């Protein structure tokens, strides 16, 4: 038992190890923040399944790149942006989106497994793209991740208001002149970039823990869109950076630490949300009996 | 119960907010309506009636610039219809807001003001004062900070009306805003719209299947049926002769005080559902 515990958490030589994970920490911090922003919109548009589909194609792209000797980063990016665009263009309605994702996902996973089997590089890294890396972000990879992260962050900030409008109320948004369709495609591209960064850190199978769970947790505790985004980013950041810090020293992938932290945050938020539903919000409601507000507000 | 309709002398001189001339709308070879001439003046409330698929929503979409007329011309506030026209407020055909919508009532209303602008909006610059004023106009101030998804259908509908009004529109388009509301909420929403056009001179196109809740406020009726239409006052349109001519078959219109019952209209059963009872006002107050 203590043996397992020792494997899970090992803080000997922690000071010496920390510098080695500096790159991962930086990449994780950026991913946590950006993933939190993106996941808010993912939840509003009901895209978690699409995120999963995109990550499998990103995995195929990354392993394909590994096989032919091109960069993993470029491969992951190419795979996820192509998948995101396909889903965005072919899956305008929820139903057609689900079916196109359902079709793409196993195809992507199968391709990735094929490429991995053909590839005879370092065995340790072999499944990293699927289930997460141990601790390995090299400098060029870090640069690529930071640049993609910055592009996503800036894109999200610029598109924010019309994107939220189009995500929550597409009809009225269109009537108000919001380019609903173009925004949807633009968001899919940003989502593709964010997924590509995630695949390289926590693995294709677990992307949802950073591009879905943080916002799902934030939605439980607030309905204020600003608070939701801030919380979601904070949750993503905590899960990623906390996960990496806990994993440092053990020789396990960061993934289980990140997913567990992320899930724990969700559980706490769900509890708080359930409590608030019963106590906090109902008080405001009690002030507004519908018959009284029916009267003209004469001034 | 019946209230005086808008002062006709006064509105007759003002320029129309909405003007259609010989307008037609078709999808491919299917023509929804054609030869439509309609002028809506400031403060006027025009009810748009007709069965499913007669092109009521399509008419609103054309006014919003989302749908091209296939023939004829249209002017909205003196110019051709264009997408995102700030002088139009729009209450869409009702749909419940689900729990994955992280918006409070005030956020929904705010979208009517600046939801279409790029960027995040500088925190200090948001016109919450106008949002609050719109919420007060519809009597929704008390639940301004409630999550939208927790509100009842009627309360959500009131929030949508506030969203449509916050931009201070000169033309208000309401697409079946009474759908699935109980009688008291129906009356609330209709009264809100009526008060708005009285106090601010906003012209209103009010699409509805339920005639009776709006009957006391309606200035004119546009009745669409089978590619044809009829425009006029309630008395001119909602009578057996006019509707029989429109449908080309015998249609009975029964009137009883403030209630209207249309019987025998083909493919058009929605009106019948409106119960012909006198609403007990006193209970609601
Ligand atoms: N983009 C489109 N292309 C082709 N046909 C369309 C399109 N949009 C609507 N229609 C058809 O035009 C007809 C009128 O639609 P519209 O939504 O305007 O009806 P409506 O009067 O609002 O009906 P309802 O009372 O059911 O809301 C319908 O039969 C619909 O199928
Ligand atoms: Mg309609």
Question: A115-149: per-residue pLDDT in tens?
Answer: 988 887 654 566 788 887 755 678 888 999 999 99
Global ipTM: 0.85
Which domains, and CATH codes, for chain A? 20-208 (1.10.3470.10)
Q: Element (H or E) spanning B112, and its range?
A: helix B105-114
Give the residue on B whose Cα is nearest the Cα of A170: B92
Q: What's the half-sphere exposure (Cβ side, CA atoms, 13 Å) at B220?
A: 16
Across residues A95-105, what is the average pLDDT?
91
Closest Cα partner for B138 from B56, B68, B196? B196
- Per-residue pLDDT, B150: 87
Closest Cα partner for A7 from A279, A212, A249, A223? A249
- Local confidence band at B183 (pLDDT 50, 70, 90 cut-offs): confident
Both tokens assigned to B100: 């994955």
- Neighboring chain B residues of A178 at a CB cutoff of 8 Å: 84, 115-116
- Ligand 1 pocket: which of B58, B179, B222, B267 to mutate (most atoms within 8 A of CB): B58
What is the value of pTM for the model shown? 0.88
Indicate which residue's Cα is closest to atom 25 of ligand 1: B52
- Per-residue pLDDT, A135: 58
User: A25 and A31 in contact (C-beta within 8 Å)?
Assistant: no
d(CA B145, CA B203): 30
Interface of B with A in 3-62 (CB under 8 A): none
- Per-residue pLDDT, B283: 35
Alpha-carbon radius of gyration of chain B: 19
Reduced 3-state DSSP string for chain A? CHHHHHHHCCCCCHHHHHHHHHHHHHHHHHHHHHHHHHHHHHHHCCCHHHHHHHHHHHHHHHHHHHHHCCCHHHHHHHHHHHHHHHHHHHCCCHHHHHHHHHHHHHHHHHHHHHHHHHCCCCCCCCCHHHHCCCCCCCHHHHHHHHHHHHHHHHHHHHHHHHHHHHHHCHHHHHHCCCCHHHHHHHHHHHHHHHHHHHHHHHCHHHHHHCCCHHHHHHHHHCCCHHHHHHHHHHHHHHHHHHHHHHHECECCCCHHHHHHHHHHHHHHHHHHHHHHHHCHHHHHHHCCCHHHHCCCCCC
- Local confidence band at B189 (pLDDT 50, 70, 90 cut-offs): confident
- Neighboring chain B residues of A44 at a CB cutoff of 8 Å: 100-102
Q: What's the half-sphere exposure (Cβ side, CA atoms, 13 Å) at A114?
A: 12
pLDDT tens digits, one per residue of A210-227 = 999 999 999 999 999 999
d(CA A94, CA A91): 7
User: B151 and B96 in contact (C-beta within 8 Å)?
Assistant: no
Distances (CA, A) of B27 to A253, B18, B67, B82, B235: 57, 22, 10, 19, 32
Q: For residue A291, is pLDDT > 90? A: no
- Per-residue pLDDT, A45: 93
- Local confidence band at B273 (pLDDT 50, 70, 90 cut-offs): very low
- Per-residue pLDDT, A214: 97
Across residues B146-169, what is the average pLDDT?
91
List strand residue ranges (DSSP E) for chain B, in order. Answer: 18-27, 30-40, 45-50, 71-76, 88-91, 171-175, 203-207, 220-225, 228-232, 252-256, 259-263
Whether residue A36 lies within 8 A of chain B, CB to CB, comes out as: no
- Strand-strand pairing, B171-175 and B18-27: unpaired
pLDDT tens digits, one per residue of B88-138 = 999 998 777 777 788 999 999 999 999 999 999 887 888 899 999 999 988
Query: Pick the residue with more confidence: B141 or A249?
Result: B141
- Per-residue pLDDT, A185: 95
Whether residue A296 lies within 8 A of chain B, CB to CB, comes out as: yes
- Local confidence band at B240 (pLDDT 50, 70, 90 cut-offs): confident
**Adjacent-strand bridge partners of B221:** B47, B232
d(CA B208, CA B56): 9
d(CA A171, CA A252): 48
Report the atom number in ligand 1 closest to the C-alpha of B58.
Answer: 18
Across residues A24-42, what is the average pLDDT?
94
d(CA A288, CA B135): 13
Whether residue B125 lies within 8 A of chain A, CB to CB, comes out as: no
Mean pLDDT of chain B: 85
- Local confidence band at B13 (pLDDT 50, 70, 90 cut-offs): low
Across residues B205-217, what is the average pLDDT?
92
Q: How far A115 CA lies from chain B's nearest CA (Å)?
A: 38
Q: How far B265 CA lies from chain A's nearest CA (Å)?
A: 31
Both tokens assigned to B186: 């129906």
User: B154 and B139 in contact (C-beta within 8 Å)?
Assistant: no
Interface of B with A in 144-173 (CB under 8 A): 145-150, 152, 154-155, 158, 163
B226: Cβ–Cβ under 8 A, 6 or more apart, which residues?
B54, B246, B247, B248
- Per-residue pLDDT, B35: 93
Query: Pick the residue with more confidence: A281 or B282?
Result: A281
Give the residue on B whose Cα is nearest the Cα of A177: B84
Other C-beta atoms closer than 10 Å to the C-beta of B191 total: 19
- Per-residue pLDDT, B267: 60
Q: In angstroms, what is the span from residue B271 Cα to ligand 2's centroid?
A: 15
Q: For residue B1, is pLDDT > 50? A: no
Of the ranges A185-194, A279-288, B7-16, B45-54, which one carries the lowest mean pLDDT score?
A279-288
Q: For residue A278, is pLDDT > 90? A: no
Query: Pick the residue with more confidence: A160 or A121?
Result: A160
Percent over 90 (pLDDT), chain B: 54
Indicate which residue's Cα is closest to atom 10 of ligand 1: B27
Taking CB atoms and an 8 Å cut-off, how many pairs form between chains A and B? 139
Give the residue on A whose Cα is nearest the Cα of B99: A219
Indicate which residue's Cα is closest to atom 16 of ligand 1: B55
Of the ranges A255-264, B103-112, B177-186, which one carries the lowest mean pLDDT score?
B177-186
d(CA A109, CA B143): 48
Other C-beta atoms closer than 10 Å to the C-beta of A107 total: 15
User: A192 and A54 in contact (C-beta within 8 Å)?
Assistant: yes
B119 and A284 within 8 Å at the Cβ level: the answer is: no
d(CA B135, CA B157): 12
Smallest Cβ distance to A223: which of B103, B137, B284? B103
Across residues B236-246, what is the average pLDDT?
85
């Amino acid at each position: 038992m203590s043996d397992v515990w020792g494997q899970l958490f090992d803080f000997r030589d922690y000071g010496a190890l920390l510098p080695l994970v500096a790159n991962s920490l930086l990449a994780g911090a950026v991913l946590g923040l950006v993933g939190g922003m993106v996941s808010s919109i993912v939840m509003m548009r009901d895209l978690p399944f699409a995120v999963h589909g995109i990550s499998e194609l990103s995995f195929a792209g990354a392993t394909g790149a590994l096989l032919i000797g091109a960069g993993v980063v470029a491969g992951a990016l190419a795979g996820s942006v192509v998948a995101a665009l396909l889903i965005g263009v072919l899956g305008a309605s929820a139903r057609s989106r689900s079916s196109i994702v359902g079709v793409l996902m196993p195809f992507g996973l199968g391709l990735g497994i094929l490429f991995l089997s053909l590839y005879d590089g370092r065995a340790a890294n072999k499944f990293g793209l699927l289930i997460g890396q141990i601790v390995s972000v090299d400098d060029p990879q870090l640069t690529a991740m930071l640049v993609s992260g910055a592009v996503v962050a800036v894109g999200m900030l610029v598109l924010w208001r019309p994107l939220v409008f189009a995500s929550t109320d597409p009809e009225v948004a269109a009537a108000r002149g919001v380019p609903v369709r173009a925004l949807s495609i633009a968001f899919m591209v940003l989502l593709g970039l964010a997924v590509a960064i995630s695949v390289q850190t926590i693995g294709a199978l677990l992307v949802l823990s950073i591009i879905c769970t943080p916002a799902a947790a934030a939605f439980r505790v607030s309905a204020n869109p600003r608070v939701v985004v801030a919380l979601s980013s904070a949750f993503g950041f905590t899960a990623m950076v906390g996960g990496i810090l806990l994993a440092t020293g053990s020789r396990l992938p960061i993934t289980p630490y990140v997913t567990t932290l992320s899930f724990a945050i969700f559980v706490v938020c769900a509890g708080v949300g359930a409590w608030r539903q019963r106590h906090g919000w109902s008080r405001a409601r009690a002030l507004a009996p519908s018959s009284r507000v029916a009267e003209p507000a004469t001034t | 119960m019946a209230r005086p309709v808008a002062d006709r002398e006064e509105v007759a001189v003002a320029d129309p907010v909405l003007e259609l001339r010989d307008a037609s709308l078709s999808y491919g070879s299917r023509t929804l309506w054609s030869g439509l001439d309609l002028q809506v003046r400031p403060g006027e409330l025009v009810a748009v009636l007709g069965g499913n698929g007669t092109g009521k929503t399509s008419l609103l979409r054309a006014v919003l610039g989302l749908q091209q007329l296939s023939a004829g011309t249209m002017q909205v506030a003196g110019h051709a219809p264009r997408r995102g026209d700030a002088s139009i407020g729009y209450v869409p055909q009702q749909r419940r807001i689900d729990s994955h919508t992280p918006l409070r009532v005030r956020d929904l209303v705010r979208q009517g003001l600046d939801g279409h602008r790029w960027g995040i909006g500088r925190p200090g610059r948001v016109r919450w004062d106008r949002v609050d004023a719109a919420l007060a106009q519809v009597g929704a101030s008390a639940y301004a900070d409630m999550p939208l998804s927790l509100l009842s259908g009627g309360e959500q509908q009131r929030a949508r009306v506030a969203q449509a009004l916050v931009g201070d529109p000169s033309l208000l388009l309401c697409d079946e805003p009474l759908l699935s509301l109980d009688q008291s909420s129906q009356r609330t929403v209709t009264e809100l719209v009526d008060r708005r056009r009285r106090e601010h001179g906003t012209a209103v196109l009010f699409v509805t299947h339920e005639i009776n809740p709006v009957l006391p406020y309606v200035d004119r009726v546009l009745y669409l049926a089978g590619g044809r239409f009829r425009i006029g006052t309630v008395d001119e349109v909602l009578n057996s002769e006019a509707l029989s001519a429109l449908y080309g078959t015998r249609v009975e219109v029964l009137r009883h005080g403030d209630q209207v019952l249309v019987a025998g209209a083909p493919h058009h059963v929605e009106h019948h559902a409106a119960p012909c009872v006198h609403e007990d006002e006193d209970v609601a107050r």
